[in-house]
Amino acid sequence: MTTNEVRQKFLEFFREKGHAVIPSAPLVPDDKTVLFVTAGMQPLVPYLMGERKHPQGARLANSQKCLRTDDILEVGDNRHLTFFEMLGNWSLGDPSEPDASPTGSSARPGHSDGFRRGIGRAGYFKKESIAWSFELLTSKKWFGIDPEKLYVTVFEGDATMGIARDDESIGYWKEAFKTAGIDASLENGRISAYPKKKNWWELAGSGPCGPDTEIFYDMGKEHDPVFGEQCHANCDCGRFVEIWNNVFMEYEKKADGPPVGGGGYSYVPLAQKNVDTGMGLERITMVLQGVETVFEIDVFKKIIGSIETKKVPYEKEARRYRIIADHLRAAVFLISDGVAPSNVERGYILRSLLRRAIAQARILNLPLRDFPVKPIERTREYYKENYRLSALPAIIDIVKKEFDAFLTAFEKGRKEVLRIVGKIPEGGVIPARDAFNLHQTYGFRIELMIDLAKDSGHTVDEKGFWEEYKKHQEISRAGSEKKFGGHGLMLQTGELKAADEEELKKVTRLHTATHLLQAALRRVLGDHVHQMGSDITAERLRFDFSHPQKMTDEEKKKVEEVVNKEIQKGHAMTHKEMPIDEAEKTGALMFQKEKYGKTVKVYSAGDFSKELCGGPHVANTKEVGTFKILKEEASSAGVRRIRATVVD
Q: Which residues line the annotated binding site for Zn(2+)?
A: 511, 515, 613, 617
Rounded Cα–Cα distance for residues 323 and 339 (Å) = 20
Distance between CA atoms of residues 615 and 613, nearest Å: 5
58: left (phi over 0), alpha (psi -120 to 50) or beta: alpha
Helix, strand, coil percent values for the chain (each to nearest 5): 40, 20, 40
Question: Which residues are within 8 A (CB) of 308 and not within 5 positions of it... i.e. 6 or more apart?
Answer: 314, 321
Is residue 362 within 8 Å of 411, Cβ to Cβ?
Answer: yes
- Strand runs labelled E in 521-572: 531-536, 541-546
Using the 8-state DSSP alphabet, how is residue 412 labeled? H
Q: Are 113 and 49 in contact (CB under 8 A)?
A: no
Binding-site residues, please? Answer: 511, 515, 613, 617
Nearest CA to 20 out of 121, 96, 110, 127 is that of: 121
Summary count for the chain: helices (H), strands (E): 17, 18
Closest residue by Cα to residue 270 from 52, 45, 50: 50
Integer CA distances (angstroms), 508 to 69, 288, 539, 615, 627, in order: 42, 65, 11, 8, 14
Q: Cα angle at 240 between 238 and 245, to 5 degrees?
A: 125
Give the Cα separation of 520 and 384 in Å (integer).
Answer: 34
Rounded (10°) angle between helices 392-421 and 318-336? 140
DSSP labels for 84-95?
A: EEEEEEEEES-T
**Cα distances (angstroms) measured from residue 49 to each of 29, 88, 199, 213:** 17, 17, 20, 20
Residue/partner pairs of 155-160 with CB below 8 Å, 24 or more apart: 155/193, 155/194, 155/195, 155/196, 155/199, 155/200, 155/211, 155/212, 155/213, 156/193, 156/194, 156/195, 156/199, 157/193, 158/195, 158/196, 158/200, 160/261, 160/262, 160/263
Structural element, H or E, at residue 601 = strand 599-605
599: helix, coil or strand? strand
